[in-house]
Amino acid sequence: MKIAIVSPVIIPVPPVKYGGIQLIVAELVKGLAGRGHQVTVFCSGGSIIGGENITCVETSPYPTFDHVDENRIWEERQILSVIERQNEFDLIHLNYEPAVLNFEVEGKQTNLLKLFSVPVVTTFHNSTNVPQHIEYYKKNQLPFNCLPVFISENHRSPLSFILNSAVIYNGIDVEKFPFDDKKENYLLFLGRITPTKGILEAISVSEKTKIPLIIAANIDSSDRDFYEKDVKPRIDGEFIRYVGEADFSQKVKYLKKAQCLLFPILWDEPFGLVMVEALACGTPVIAFRRGSVPEIIEDGVNGFIVEDVDEMVEAIGKVVDILPEKCRESVTQKFSVERMVNEYEKIFSKVLLK
């Protein structure tokens, strides 16, 4: 197949540090190309994805993460450039949800998805529990040539009325995450410092258990005040340490030795890739019962699902009963790149037959 894969221009492919969508895009591109498909990636400037059967097309001069005011301009240009070239491909895989593809074209609001004549698979990555988006999909049926993909059953749930949708779990290259069953005495919070990720809850768990906490996370400009006012005063640099945003090698170093990963999520996160990365290293996950958590964590097998901080504290006392081998096994069986690529291949074949 000749496949165009379109990645949001906000972060390069693959990401240097933070960027779950772009990490999944990179793994999918390499997996499909490795099976002989011709893959063209439309992505931000600064992307370094390449190799046999892979063509990289940079559609913005730089990642727009630090140029948010320009983001919509480059998104529109990116999608229009794909539309111009669509007949070069058997199908298009968009990593944008349709509701965000409304732009002004020739003086009127147009959803650019309607301008595709070739088959389109569109993967929803962000929250689907957004009232205005739910209302949009109730009023606007997706084009016949479009097949939507969600990344967990919980993610699909608010939009379950959309016909012919599929669920494909994100996958990781398990071999990139070294297994280690010898753990050290620290808890880990990894991701982004923002209220809904539960950073304050993670700190409270550390304080109550008297177990050190390592925080490896990035801080968006919009969360800087929250960090300075609410988070930083609780970081002493010894018992609770903030080590900045981790690159891949640093992330693996912290994940494989942690006693457990804390995932006290306060919103319905569609997937939570860091949970899978921790499990691949043989590290149990203790997580709040939100979003996709019950689809990834099997309570008492590869971690614990809890309701609040007090239950998380209690679960840490039982984490020694979790076998690291079971953690890794849960990933190889359900969340590998091979399985993800297999399922996308099936979906691509299905949409070509529509």
pTM: 0.94
What pLDDT does residue 295 have? 98
- In this predicted structure, which of 84-98, 102-116, 199-213 has the lowest mean pLDDT? 102-116
pLDDT over 90 at 109, yes or no: no
Summarize the confidence of residues 257-282 as an average pLDDT: 98
- Phi-psi sector, 194: left (phi>0), alpha (psi -120 to 50), beta: beta
More confident position, 177 or 67: 177
> What is the tens place of the pLDDT at every residue in 143-176?
989 999 999 999 999 999 999 999 999 999 999 9
**Distance between CA 284 and CA 255 in Å, rounded?**
10
pLDDT score, position 106: 77
Where do we find the tokens 């290259």?
A: 173
Helix (H, G, I), strand (E, B) or coil at 6: strand
Burial of 229 (0-12, 13-18, 19+ CB in 10 A): exposed
* Structural domains of the chain ordered from first start: 2-171+336-352 (3.40.50.2000), 174-334 (3.40.50.2000)
How many whole angstroms separate alpha carbon 33 and alpha carbon 39? 6
What value does the mean pLDDT take over residues 26-39? 98
Q: What is the mean pLDDT of the chain?
A: 95
